[in-house]
Amino acid sequence: MLLGELDHSVSQLKGIGPQSASQLAGLGIISVADLLLHRPRDYEDRSTTVPLRDWTKAPVNTVVEVVAHDFFGHRRGRTLKVYVQDETGTATLLCFNRNFLQNVLKVGEKFRLYGNFTYRYGELQSSSFETEKLFEQSSSFGRILPIYPLTGKLNQGLMRRAVRDALRRYGRYVDSELPESLRRHFGYLPKSEAIRQVHFPDSFEQLDLALQGLSFEELLYFQIVVARRAYRRDESRRAPQLLPYRLQRRCIEALPFKLTADQKQVIEEIKKDLDGPHPMGRLLQGDVGSGKTLTALLSALPVIEAGYQVAFLAPTELLAKQHAERAAGFLEQLGVRLAFLSGHVKNAVRAPLLTALAEGRVDLIIGTHALFTEDVRFQNLRYVIIDEQHKFGVEQRGRLIEKGRNPDLLLMTATPIPRTLTLTFFGDLQVSSIRSMPPGRKPVVTHLARQDNEEKVYRAVRKELERGHQAYFVYPRISGDGESDLKDAETMALRLRETIFSDFSLALIHSKRPEEEKERIMHDFAQGKIQVLVSTSVVEVGVDVANATCMVVEQAERFGLAALHQLRGRVGRSSLQSYVFLVYSRELSEEGKRRLMVMKRSSDGFEISEEDLKLRGPGELGGTRQSGSLGLRFTDLNDDLELLQRARKEAFRIVKADPALALSQHQNLSRVLECCAPFPEELFAGG
Dist. CA 336–CA 219, nearest whole Å = 44
Q: Which is nearer to Mg ion, 92 or 389 (CB)?
A: 389
Judged by CB under 6 A, which of 40, 179, 281, 286 binds ligand ADP?
A: 286
Does 292 help bind ligand ADP (rule: CB under 6 A)?
A: yes
Q: Is the dihedral of CA 404, 408, 413, 417 positive or negative?
A: positive
The order of strands in the sheet holding 381-386 is 338-341, 364-367, 309-313, 381-386, 408-413, 281-286, 430-434
Q: Which is nearer to Mg ion, 293 or 415 (CB)?
A: 293
Among residues 533, 601, 591, the alpha carbon closest in space to that of 565 is found at 601
Given ligand ADP, Mg ion, none, residue 259, with its beta carbon under 5 to 8 Å by kind, binds ligand ADP
How many CA within 13 A on the CB side of residue 310? 26
* Identity at 44, one-letter amino acid code: E
Dist. CA 34–CA 159, nearest whole Å = 13
Does 293 help bind Mg ion (rule: CB under 5 A)?
A: yes
Least Å distance, CB 572 to ligand ADP, is 11
Does 315 help bind ligand ADP (rule: CB under 6 A)?
A: no
Of 56-64, 150-158, 257-265, 372-380, which part binds ligand ADP (CB under 6 A)? 257-265
Given ligand ADP, Mg ion, none, residue 244, with its beta carbon under 5 to 8 Å by kind, binds none
Helices 191-199, 156-170: inter-axial angle, 10-degree rounding: 160
Of 166-174, 288-296, 358-366, 638-646, which part binds ligand ADP (CB under 6 A)? 288-296
How many CA within 13 A on the CB side of residue 580? 26
Q: Which is nearer to ligand ADP, 140 or 293 (CB)?
A: 293
Q: Is the dihedral of CA 287, 289, 290, 295 positive or negative?
A: positive
Given ligand ADP, Mg ion, none, residue 618, with its beta carbon under 5 to 8 Å by kind, binds none
Dist. CA 264–CA 283, nearest whole Å = 16
Per-residue interface string for the shown chain with ligand ADP, residues 422-441, x marking contact by CB under 6 A: ----------------x---
Least Å distance, CB 291 to ligand ADP, is 3
Does 289 help bind ligand ADP (rule: CB under 6 A)?
A: yes
Q: Which is nearer to ligand ADP, 131 or 566 (CB)?
A: 566
Least Å distance, CB 322 to Mg ion, is 9
- Mark out the alpha helices in 171-291 (DSSP H runs): 180-186, 191-199, 204-235, 246-254, 261-275
Phi, psi for 365 (deg, rounded to 5): -115, 130
**DSSP letters of 474-492?**
E-S-SS--SSS----HHHH
Q: Which is nearer to Mg ion, 293 or 309 (CB)?
A: 293
Q: Which is nearer to ligand ADP, 288 or 336 (CB)?
A: 288
Find out whether the peptide bond into 678 is cis, omega within 30 degrees of 0. Answer: yes
Q: For the segment 369-428, give every residue that binds ligand ADP (CB under 6 A).
A: 414
Given Mg ion, ligand ADP, none, residue 286, with its beta carbon under 5 to 8 Å by kind, binds ligand ADP
Does 259 help bind ligand ADP (rule: CB under 6 A)?
A: yes
Does 328 help bind ligand ADP (rule: CB under 6 A)?
A: no
3-state secondary structure of 9: strand
Dist. CA 319–CA 575, nearest whole Å = 23
Q: Which is nearer to Mg ion, 323 or 487 (CB)?
A: 323
Does 605 help bind ligand ADP (rule: CB under 6 A)?
A: no
- Mark out the alpha helices in 332-453 (DSSP H runs): 347-358, 394-401, 419-426
Given Mg ion, ligand ADP, none, residue 289, with its beta carbon under 5 to 8 Å by kind, binds ligand ADP
Given ligand ADP, Mg ion, none, residue 438, with its beta carbon under 5 to 8 Å by kind, binds ligand ADP
Does 257 help bind ligand ADP (rule: CB under 6 A)?
A: yes
Given Mg ion, ligand ADP, none, residue 476, with its beta carbon under 5 to 8 Å by kind, binds none
Judged by CB under 6 A, which of 288, 474, 500, 651 binds ligand ADP?
A: 288
Buried b or exposed e, range 574-602, using 16+ CB within 10 angstroms: bebebbbbbbbbeebeeebeebbebbeeb
Of 290-298, 465-473, 530-538, 591-599, which part binds ligand ADP (CB under 6 A)? 290-298
Judged by CB under 6 A, which of 212, 263, 555, 578 binds ligand ADP?
A: 263
Q: Which residues contact 234 (CB under 8 A, 6 or more apart)?
A: 278
Does 413 help bind Mg ion (rule: CB under 5 A)?
A: no
Count of residues of this chain found to bind ligand ADP when the rule CB under 6 A is applied: 15
Q: Which residues contact 460 (CB under 8 A, 6 or more apart)?
A: 550, 579, 581
Does 294 help bind ligand ADP (rule: CB under 6 A)?
A: yes
Given ligand ADP, Mg ion, none, residue 257, with its beta carbon under 5 to 8 Å by kind, binds ligand ADP
Q: Interior CA angle at 28 toward 26 and 31, to 5°?
A: 115
Q: What distances in angstroms separate CA 75 from CA 78, 107, 453, 593, one per listed residue?
A: 5, 22, 48, 44
* Identity at 684, one-letter amino acid code: F
Does 291 help bind ligand ADP (rule: CB under 6 A)?
A: yes
Q: For the segment 47-86, give every residue that binds Mg ion (CB under 5 A).
A: none
Q: What distances in angstroms separate CA 380 from CA 298, 358, 377, 403, 587, one per listed residue?
A: 19, 8, 9, 9, 56
Dist. CA 566–CA 338, nearest whole Å = 28
Judged by CB under 6 A, which of 61, 285, 290, 531 binds ligand ADP?
A: 290
Q: Which is nearer to Mg ion, 167 or 320 (CB)?
A: 320
Q: Which is nearer to ligand ADP, 115 or 286 (CB)?
A: 286
Of 103-111, 287-295, 398-406, 579-587, which part binds ligand ADP (CB under 6 A)? 287-295
Least Å distance, CB 577 to ligand ADP, is 17
Dist. CA 124–CA 430, nearest whole Å = 61
Given ligand ADP, Mg ion, none, residue 291, with its beta carbon under 5 to 8 Å by kind, binds ligand ADP
Does 293 help bind ligand ADP (rule: CB under 6 A)?
A: yes
- Mark out the alpha helices in 77-203 (DSSP H runs): 156-170, 180-186, 191-199
Given ligand ADP, Mg ion, none, residue 171, with its beta carbon under 5 to 8 Å by kind, binds none
* Contact criterion met (CB below 8 Å) for 425 and 413: no
Least Å distance, CB 290 to ligand ADP, is 4
Residues that bind Mg ion (CB under 5 A): 293
Residues that bind ligand ADP (CB under 6 A): 257, 259-260, 263, 286, 288-294, 414, 438, 544
